[in-house]
Amino acid sequence: MANMCLYMAPGACSTAANIILEEVEEVFEVTVVNIPAGENRRPEYLAINPRGTIPSLRLKDGSVLTDLLSIAEWLGRNCRRGRYWPAHPVLQERARAIMRHVTEAVHGQGFARVFVPEAYGCDPDEAAQVTAEGRRIAALALGEAAGMLDAEGYALGAFTVADPILFYVEFWADMTDVPLPPRLLDHYRLMLGRDAAYRVLREGGYDPGKLGKAA
């Protein structure tokens, strides 16, 4: 049976899946997909993920998960005896709500405009306006995310797969100078202290020691 294989790009949302795989101590391979070069639109990748998105995770049985939240929940439920997926149904729904908010609001509505303003049909003269709107949306959505977490520590108290999902947008905020609410800054710094996050960032070419400094 083959190892799992994560199709990802350094610094992208797939960072969360990479961290989770490290946390659950799975043996896995990594295939970097060069998005700017269009590798995600090549036939060989579309055969893996017809949507052309990242991350994708090929499981040991050859089946493929092509959605970040599905990947996170599957790994949380099925690896390390479900250690990183909440046992209580109420906490499970909170985990899903946090992760959906991150991917749909913070990422999908906010940072998508920051990173790819051209996708919103604007001409080059309007790109700065779209980016500014993305920053505004991201900041508001991050504020909403802060209110969804436990008062201290990890998102749901103990570490779960929801934490790396939250971490990737905190990382983006740090890299783009979008202010993090104090609760999220505390969470971000807590995550930066985990060995898995440190390794993944270092492997992606980032210096974790220079991150999380914003007040």
Q: How far apart are CA 25 and CA 10, in angstroms?
A: 19
Gyration radius (Cα) of the chain, Å: 17
pLDDT of residue 150: 96
- Which residues make beta-bridge pairs with 28? 4
- Cβ distance 204 to 15 under 8 Å? yes
CATH architecture label of 89-194: Up-down Bundle (1.20)
- Is domain 4-82 in CATH 3.40.50.300, yes or no? no
Tokens coding 47: 């055969």
Amino acid code (one letter) for 112:
A
Task: Spell out where the chain has E strands.
Answer: 4-8, 28-32, 56-58, 64-65
> Quick check: pTM over 0.75?
yes
Per-residue pLDDT of the chain (215 residues; tens, 9 = 90+): 689 999 999 999 999 999 999 999 989 999 999 999 999 999 999 999 999 999 999 999 999 999 999 999 999 999 999 999 999 999 999 999 999 999 999 999 999 999 999 888 767 778 889 999 999 999 999 999 999 999 999 999 999 999 999 999 999 999 999 999 999 999 999 999 999 999 999 999 999 999 998 65
Same fold, 4-82 and 89-194: no
Segments in the chain forming alpha helices (H):
14-23, 43-46, 68-78, 89-100, 112-115, 127-146, 162-176, 182-192, 195-203
Please report the pLDDT score of residue 215 as a whole number. Answer: 56
Amino acid at site 136: R
In 3-state terms, what secondary structure has residue 154? strand
Q: Residue 65: what are its φ and ψ, rounded to 5°?
A: -100, 135
pLDDT of residue 2: 81
Contacts of 51 (CB under 8 A, 6+ apart): 66
The residue ranges of every structural domain in the chain are 4-82, 89-194
Picking from 139, 140, 110, the residue whose alpha carbon sits closest to that of residue 214 is 139
